Every structure is written in C-alpha cells, then in structure tokens.
Structure 1
Amino acid sequence: MLSLSLTAAIVATLGAYTLYTLLKILYQEYTSPLRNVPGPKSDHWFLGNRQPLFKNFDGQEGLWSAQYGRTVRINTFLGFSQLYTTDSKALQHILSNSYLYQKPAAGRYFLGRVVGPGVLVVEEDVHKKQRKIMNPAFGPAQLRALTEIFVQKSKQLRDVWAARAATSGGVARVNVLPEFSTAALDIIGKAGFNYDFHSLGANSGSIRDELHEAFAKISSTDLNTGALDLLKLEVPLLRRLLPNTTVDNIIVDSQATMRRIGKQLLYESRRKIAEGKSADSTALRDLLSLLVRANMAKDISDAQRLSEEDVLAQVPTFLVAGHETYCLLNSTAATWGLFELATNPQIQTRLRNELLAVDNDNPSMDELNALPYLDCFVRETLRAHAPVPLTFRVATREDIIPLETPYTDRNGTVHETIRPTLVLPILAVNRDPALWGADAHQFLPERWERSPAPSTSIPGLWSQMLTFLGGPRACIGFRFSLVEFKALLFTLVRALEFELAVPAADIGRIAMSIVQQPMVRSDLAAGTQMPILIKPFTQS
C-alpha cells in the first residue's frame, strides 16, 4: 500500500511539474515581444521553420532577411518564437556578453555527450578557467612548431591521390570529403596529443586503432535520428526515464574508449614533463602536452588549475573541433575550397602559380602566411563556405538587445531594441549583400585585395566575418585552423589538378549535425559527398 501511495505521489508530482512548466512556457510565449516581429509562417505544425533553417544554404540562407528585414521572428517547435538576426549591433551585444547569452541547454547536452565537459561545452567561470590554461597552446610560437606536422600529413594525402590517379589511367575520381576528414583526423591526432592514427597511406584500410574507431563511430552517426533521441534532447527529465537508444549505446561505448586512451595520453604527457624533457622536444609540442605543462606551472594557484577531468575532456574536444567544426576546422572547409578550385580554373591557375614560385617544399608558417593570394583564397572560402552555418544562444536573464537597423512590428510600431531567444545565422551574415555588396554570393578571392576590408561592422574574431564567431567564446584554435588549411592547399595545389566530376549545379549542401556538408542532388542515396577528378599537374 505504501508503495502504491508513493508511486501515486511521484506521478502526481511529475504531472504537476509538467503542467507548471507547460503553463510557464505558454505564458512566456504569449507575452513575448517576438509575437509582433515580422517573419515567416511555420512550414510544419511541429517543427516550425526548423527544416528550412537547416537546409536553405544554396543562396537562400538570407531569404528571410531580404523579405522581412534584418530582425526576423521564426518559429521553432510547435510554433514557439525565436529571433533570427543579421543586425551587426545586436550580434556585437550578444557575442560580447557570453555570461548572459549562452548556448541553449539542449545544445550543450547534444555536444556534451560527445566531447564531455570540454571548452566547447562549459560556460561562465568554468569556460574562462579552461580557456586561460589552454591559450598558450594555441599561440604563434607553438603553431610554428606544428606546421611541420601539417605539411607532412598534407604530403601523405598528396601521394595517396597521386598514386590513385596513376593506377586509374592518369585521372582518379575521388570523394574528397571523407579523404579530407581522414587527413584532418591524422593531423589533430599528431598535433593534438602526439598520437598517430595512421589513417593515411597505402595500409590505412587495415590500420584502425581503437581511438580512431571510437571517434569514427560517433562522427558517422546522426545523433538525433530517432523520436526518443529528439525527446531526450528537448526534455531533460526524459533522459533518465527513457531507455537507451542505439545512439546512446554508441556514444557510451565510444566515450569509454576515448576516456581510457585519453587517460593514457595524459599520463604519458605528465611523465615526459616530470622527466624534464626539453621544451623544444618534438614529443612536447603537441597541444595536450602544452596544456598539461601550463596546468602544472608553479606561478598559478590551485584554484586556477584544471582538474584531471577537465584536462581529460579536452581529448575528445580536440578530436571533434579539429575534425570538422568552426574551431580547428579543416575537413569541411578544405572540401569547399577544392570545390571552388575545381569550378574556377582561373582561380586554380593563379593560386598554383603563386605557390610554385616558392622554392621550398616544406614551408614554414611565416612563409605560408606571406603568400597573398593563398591568404585571399582561404579568407574567401571561410567566408562563403563557413562550415558551421548557424549557432544558437539563449538569454539567462531579461535583457534588451540594441539594434543597428530598427524594425517595424505588425502594429506599425518602430523598435530599436528587442528581448529574444536567438539564432545567429553565421553563413547568412557572411554572405549578406547589405554588408558585403551586391557580389556577396559570388566567390571572389580578389575582394580581399581591397583596402579597407569589404565589411567592418561584423563583430567577428577574424577578418570581419562570423566563421570563428567573436567575443569571449570565439574559436580558441582559429590560428591552428588557418595554418593547417594553408599547408593543405600549398601541398595539394602545387602537385595536382582538380576538376568537378559532376555539374556544379548538381552540388547542394545540407546540415549534418552542426556542419554544412556537400551532397550530389542526383545521387542523394550516396549521402554527403564531393566527387572531384584529380590528376597530377605537369608544368609546361
């Protein structure tokens, strides 16, 4: 009887809590100032405008701003309101106030169950503490030492493609997306924690170590494929009540492997440092060793040091960030860069001519950064093809966001401020004609030869764009990404020629988890891909 009474009490409590939460959400929506902001109708009764939000990346990402203005109300689940803004003053306010505007809880859960409590997930003082310890590992001096790794792995990829072309009659058709993904994984493995995945090379198919396998399982899985996964994402209580899904089991197994091997890597780094190895030693140049050394420094207090759990969390963080996100990005960005080279022969020729003029097959970071057209090409690729097309923020308390461009609501009232839950449309801002000019949707590396820069009002960390975001939560590894990208292009373009294997109009893009990737419209069943014809370059 007691058990039945207790069960009934628990059910009643949960029911009351659910009803209270629902009424609170409905009240907040009913009184929301966003209700009168102009915007599109829902495309779906349950999903609202989420489907076009994650799919309109083929020149349509700025459609809402063109129709309704720079500040737009869109609809999320069940028609609840969300702010979509390309207003530069609003973006500056949001990105500068990272304690107030944080990643939504659902987003932190989504990413956190893959990487753990690393710098990509944590907020406020914990994020500030982790970032302060990690900053020295991403400085210019450290990246100069890592450039050799970037070039070495780029050469391995070059040789793989050249060999494939040689055995295919001189021209090889390659889906470059997974190939770049493999190269990026090898690079972050070696540069991140002195761990070689051996993914590239003739024997790559037979060498599949545990850490590579664990990460491959997670990265190849859509983390929100089922209804239960979606419910757990949006309703925290259900994460404990609902049974594990297939995705849950994959994540648990892969995380256990990454954690176990991460502990081994962490132990090795500490052992080498304790043995007094020289700071110039190759073994101590990797990001994890630099992080461990900074965390062991005598001039920081115990309160400033990271716990072993915090340090350990950076292993999967480096893997995910270095593999395909806007932080330490490369596989997705490099794929879109090759797309532009393959569809613009004149750009490919000009870039190759500049690179061949360098009398050095092993360029340093400074030599790579001194190449002006390579720099223009990298900037334009990251502007026009930002791998992460959008991100989300939610206000932790009431706030008023200032607007550069006032909006007129449905009642005809003009507003210069707003209080929202927000979408930050990175790609739409990077391609906004109001900021970049009428040619914003054209791929023009030459735009970066102008002075001043094309747009100066975007509050981005790097090059007046939002690709690496801005403010206190901007990408800590953006310099790593840029040098890595330049090393790849330098090595590949000098030796190989690229041509698109399908008509350019057949290439579309789709958001996979948080990254926008290419697909072939006439071959959707094949999944994400970028087919490129590759052949050795012969200098006349």
Structure 2
Amino acid sequence: MPLLRVCGSSIFAFIIWRLIKRLRALNSPLTHILGPKKEHWLKGNYHRIFQDGLRYNLDLVQKYGGVVKIYALLGQEQLYISDPLALHHIIVKEQNVYEETDMFIMSNRLIFGEGLIATLGEQHRKQRKMLNPVFSLANMRGLLPVIQPIADQLHTILNAQIPADGSVVEINLLPWLSRGALEYICQAALGHSFNALDATKGNEYLEAIRTLAPSTLRLIFLRPFIPMIVRRFSLYWRNKMMDWVPGDALKDLRHVVNVMDTTSKKIFTEKRAALENEGFVGIAGNRMQGKDIMSIMLQANASSSSDDRLTDSELLGQMNTIIFAGFETTATAICRIFWILAQKQDVQARLRSAVRKAKRDYADAQGLSSPWEDVELPYDKLMGLPYLDAIVRETLRVYPPTSLLSRTARQASVLPLHQPIKSASGEMISSIHVPENTTLIISILASNHNKEIWGEDASEWRPERWLSPSGERLHLGDGEGNPTNGVSLGVKNGIKYPGVYGLMMTFLGGGRACIGFKFAEMEIKQVLTTLIPRIHFALPASTDRNGHVKEIYWKMNGLQVPVVRPPAGDNVTAQVPLDLRKVREQDFVVN
C-alpha cells in the first residue's frame, strides 16, 4: 500500500504541476494562434484527433489553415501542422531543434529497446548510418525471392476456401493478410519463419506482435506520465507499480514486451553464432547466405570501425522495431487496397489485365512455359508497373496507415509558413514563434490532402493522377521541387512536401523518415500481383438473418482500423470481410 500512495502522490503532483502551467499559459505566446475551443478540462480536444478523427482532422485544416492550436491533456497548448514549408523546417532544415517527444522516445525504449525509434541525436544518426545501406535497392532485390513463396502460400490458403464451381464465399481478409505481413517481415528481417500462415500453430511471439498496438492504444492517456515515472523510479519500482495497479492493461503490455525481448535475444544469439561460424542458417534450415536484414546488419556491424559499431543492445533494439514497423502499417495498407478494389471493379479489372500483360511479356522474353499466373516478376519489372504503382501510391497518399506524429521544440524557434494564416486578432501572419518545449503534431493526413498541392480533388482516390495520358508513370520532379516533363504533381510554385516517398508525407522525410519504405512498397506490390490475377474481390453482398449487409468502415485512431458498422457489425472488431471467387475471363479489361 505505501507504493500505491507514492504512485498516487506522484500522479497528483504531476496534475497539480500541469494545472499551474495551464494557469501560467493564460499569457502564452500561442494565444494568437486560432484553433477549436477546448472541449474537456482533462482531455482538451486532443481525443478528437485520435478517436475516429478523420473528418475532424481534415476540417481543422479547412477552417484554420496549415497551423492550428489544439488543447492536449490538462489544457496543454500544442500546434497541429500541415503547412509544407513549416514541415520542411521541422523534419529537414531544423530537425535537430524539432525532435521526437520524451513520451515517444521513452515509451519506445521501454517496449523495443535502443532501436531507431527510441534514440535521438548522435546515437540515432549513428544507427541510421549503419542501417541505411542495409535497406539498399540491391538488398531489396535479394529479398524479393524470399517473400514471393509466402505470397504464393497466402494464395493457396485463400484459394482452398473458395468454391471450385465459381461461386462466391465471404472471407475476412484481415487476419490472413496480417499473418502474411508478419511472415514476410520475419523472414526478410530475421531470416526466421514463425509459420504465421499456419493457423493451427500458435506462437507466443506472433501473438505478442499482433497485440502490441491494441495494448498500447489502451494506455494512450497514460503515455504523458511515462517520462516522469521513468525519471523518478527504477525498473524494480516500475514493475512493482504494474503489480499493484488495478486492471490488466499494463500487465498485458508487460507480458507482450517480455515475450518480444526473450524471443529477439534468442534469435540474436543464434545469428551471432552463425556469423562467428562463417555461415547463416536461414529459413527451415536452408542457407540464405545472409540475405536477411539482420544477417546483413550483423555483418556490416562486425566490419565497422569501433566508433561506428553498434552495441548488442542497439542491435537487439532494431529487431523488434523493424518487425513491428513492417507489420502493422503494411498489413493495413494491403487491406485498404483490396477494399478499394472490391468497390471499384473497373480498377480491379484494369489492374488484373496490366499484371497479366506484364507476366506474359516477361514469360515470352524469358522463354518460360509455365502458366502466366505462376510467373514471378523480377524486382525491376514488379516495381515499374505503372498502373500498379499508381494504385499503391494513391492509396498510401489518401489513406496513410499512420496519420499523425509528434515533435517537440528543444529550443525556441521561428517557423516560416508557405500559406499565411489568420491570427486571433484577424491579422495574417506568415511565421510563428515556437516556444521551447512546445509539442507539435505533424498531420500526415492533412498534408496528403492539401488541395493547393494535390488539387481540388485531393481527398478523392484517383490513381490516374500519377499517370500520363498515355498511361505511363509520371516523373514528379528533379529532387529540387522543380517539375519535369511539364508535370507539377505534388509541387506548387516550387513548394513541395519533404516526404521521402512520392512527395507525400506517408513515410515522413528527413533523418527520421521510414527506413523500410522500399520493402513495404515491394511487399504490397508482390501480394497484389500474386492474388489479383487469380482471385476476384467484391464487397460483401449476403445479408444476415435480419437482412443487414456488412458495411466496412475505417476508423482513424492514430492507426487505421477497419470495422463493420452496426447493425451488421459491432463497430469495434477489426475485420475486412470481402466476397471472393475464382477469376473469370470477363474479369479482365476487354481490349
């Protein structure tokens, strides 16, 4: 009980401290920034942008512009930013000023260890320097043959559930695509198979990875307290707190973290031993010649100078970071694409026809006699299919798997704006003074929907925007924001978003951009080119006993969560039920 009193007193003191800061904030330098009124004394209006907040997020920018003031927990004022010039300063030009928040860094360090998303400054730059070559195009080409058989296995599993007579069956795609995404990243990153696609085999590590995101979301309003708790209590006392705190949420998360830590250490030890024995034992005991990401990283680290070499704890931190980052968001993106194709039958038919032509052309060029559906496209052919590329890019732009990220100003700074905003006094301002320790929310969603940059139809899913009139892939710019071939997509008067992928913000940019975006893109395209030629997808058509048809709805809770709306669904359970059948000739575009 004394521990409970200490914990309670600390939290009470924290709340009092924040309330005092709130009173002092009456003369805050952010009072001139417009934004929605505070809705709750504790939650402000912070909860509105995270809890099914798609429309709310877009309306904020529509009403207030590229910089909006919002109220977070206990009335803390934060800046919600989608202005392209401001974001360029935040994530590129002054990235040393605008760093990840203490809450983000400490939370990730507790969960993943000292990986890329849990480090700052020189330590982060050192890790990035080591990992950038690991995710090179050459290594991605080497990983494609690893994930192709997994996509084929996924097709086999789905095909076994589809009636042979050509009739339709409803299948919830989400668990299968999630299992596939886990197997792709585990084999590619670790060179280790967890048999994720075998539903008859349970695996504690896979279950831990799958439940990590829901477990952390259950505790989202406790995250602001993490820096204070970590700084004031040792690991021993933090564990004691978890034992004493009522409820299972914290205990469940601790179990997930312990399973991830134990498993990663075991695999790391095996990989290290294999390296020392001058060989790598890969999937199912076969030699992979060290092509998986972890093996490449260990080899690179071993050959680095002592100044550049990462510690074992840093290497371990990368393992679970890469697995989690490469699983959750990619599975969501793939599900979203199939949901879109199920609605837009003309797009699905056109994509299927484009894939068939590409596979037939490649088979003819290589003298292959196997059925065109079984042909595996090499990396450059796969990544270069214009219509496939347009569909993937447009989906990731309109529906980014992660919609919001945070930064904190480590020192006072001035943010210039591309588009001036109206202040509380009615004056138009083109720059904003950002006080030290101000939290800024980077709106990936609002940036990707910016009508000035992407056009009046920015919120419309239209893959043709990425193609020339003749159907060829557009080259967006020369790296300096200047359009080429007369094309200005993603660039307006020399202004563009500093995104690392397609001039959008989906994978961020700068020194903390998503390091594995090329792998994610390759995985998505491989799954599509494997399943679309053989399986037809449609929205659910059957009714339940009350005559209701399932309507899929995507909640935006930080991450995108697909559910089935009432009355046919509970609006809570994540699922993507679609009608599947075998492909017929009429499912292709008639030339």
The answer to whether TM tops 0.5 is yes
Moved more, 168-177 or 384-393: 168-177
Which residue does 2:267 correspond to in 1?
265
Q: What CA deviation, in whole Å up to 9, does each residue of 1:452-496 have, x standing for no partner?
A: 252121111110100000111001111111111110111011111
Counterparts in 2 of 1:524 and 1:432: CA distance versus 1, 3 Å: farther
Q: Hey, what does 1:471 align to over in structure 2?
A: 510
Q: Secondary structure at the match of 1:195?
A: coil
- Corresponding residue for residue 519 of structure 1: 563
For residue 294 of structure 2, what is the amino acid of its counterpart?
L
Shift of 1:115: 1.7
Distance in 2, matches of 1:507 and 1:171, equals: 18
Match among 310, 316, 325 for residue 320 of structure 2: 316
1:435 is matched with 453
Instruction: Tell me the SS of whatever aligns to 1:527.
Output: coil
Matching residue's letter, 2:159: A
Q: 1:379: which partner in 2?
A: 393
Q: 1:399, 1:226 → 2: CA distance?
A: 28
Deviates more, 1:17-26 or 1:160-169: 17-26
User: Is 1:369 aligned to 2:383, yes or no?
Assistant: yes
Instruction: Give the equivalent residue in structure 1 for 2:411.
Output: 397
Partner residue of 2:348?
348
Asked whether the 8 Å contact 1:98–1:124 carries over to 2, the reply is no
C-alpha distance 336-473 of structure 1, shift in aligned 2 (>3 A): same
CA shift at 1:415, angstroms? Answer: 2.3
The 1:15–1:286 alpha-carbon spacing in structure 2 relative to 1, beyond 3 Å, is: closer
Residue 507, structure 1, aligned to residue 547, structure 2:
no
> Does residue 120 in structure 1 map to residue 124 in structure 2?
no
Deviates more, 1:23-32 or 1:40-49: 23-32
Which residue, out of 196, 204, 212, partners 1:210?
A: 204
Where 2:430 maps in the other structure, the secondary structure is: strand
**Quick check: 343-352 or 403-412, which moved more?**
403-412
The 8 Å contact of residues 389 and 426 in structure 1, kept in 2 or not, is answered as yes
- Shift of residue 136 of structure 1? 1.8
Matched, 1:195 2:192: yes
Query: Which residue identity lines up with residue 113 of structure 1 in the other structure?
Result: L
CA contact (8 A) 1:57 1:509 kept: no
List, as ranges, runs of 4+ consecutive aligned residues in structure 1 with deviation greater than 6 Å.
Answer: 13-17, 502-505
Post-superposition Cα deviations, 1:26-61, rounded to whole Å, max 9, x if no partner, equal 366334322121111123332111222124554553
Which residue of 2 is the match for residue 293 of structure 1? Answer: 299
**One-letter amino acid matched to 1:490:** T
The answer to whether 1:89 aligns with 2:85 is yes
Kindly provide the amino acid, as one letter, of the partner of residue 508 in structure 1: Y
RMSD of aligned residue pairs (Cα, Å): 2.9
Return the letter of the residue paired with 1:159. T
Q: Which amino acid in the other structure matches residue 581 of structure 2?
A: K
1:59–1:315 CA distance, 2 compared to 1 (3 A): same
1:223-280 deviation per Cα after TM superposition (whole angstroms, max 9, x unaligned): 43497x4574475358848444523322333333322322222222223323333899
> How many Å separate the matches in 1 of 2:313 and 2:306?
15
SS of residue paired to 2:457: coil
Return 5+ residue gaps in structure 1 as ranges: none
Cα distance change of structure 1 residues 142 and 520 upon mapping to structure 2, 3 Å threshold: same
Question: Partner of 2:370 in structure 1?
Answer: none
CA distance 1:178–1:220, change in 2 (3 Å): farther
Matched, 1:455 2:484: no
Shift of 1:150: 2.0
Change (3 A) 1:312 1:14: closer
Whichever residue aligns with residue 265 of structure 1, its letter is I
Tell me whether 1:529 sits opposite 2:575 in the alignment: yes
Counterpart residue number, 2:39: 43
* SS at structure 2 position matched to 1:35: coil
User: Quick one: distance in 2 between partners of 1:243 and 1:258?
Assistant: 18
Q: Which residue of 1 aligns with 2:585?
A: 539
Unmatched 5+ stretches in structure 2:
364-374, 469-473, 475-486, 542-547, 587-591
Contact 1:62 1:432 in 2 (8 A): no
Distance 1:28 1:209 in 2: 52
- Is the 8 Å Cα contact of residues 197 and 208 (structure 1) preserved in structure 2? no
The correspondence of residues 42-191 of structure 1 with structure 2, limited to 5 A, is 42-55=38-51, 57-96=53-92, 97-166=94-163, 170-191=167-188
Give the drift of 1:515. 1.5
Amino acid at match of 2:407: R
* CA distance 1:425–1:277, shift in 2 (3 Å): same
CA distance in 1, matches of 2:550, 2:163: 29
Q: TM-score, normalised by structure 1?
A: 0.89
Residue identity opposite 1:334 in structure 2? I
CA contact (8 A) 1:496 1:536 kept: yes
Q: Secondary structure at the match of 1:468?
A: coil
**Percent of residue pairs identical:** 29
SS in 2 for 1:120: helix
Q: Secondary structure at the match of 2:570?
A: helix
Measure the CA separation in 1 of the matches of 2:549 and 2:227.
Answer: 38
Q: What is the rounded CA distance, in whole Å, between the counterparts of 1:247 and 1:170 in structure 2?
A: 43
- Alignment match of 2:536 (pick from 497, 502, 505): 497
Count of matched residue positions in the alignment of Structure 1 and Structure 2: 521
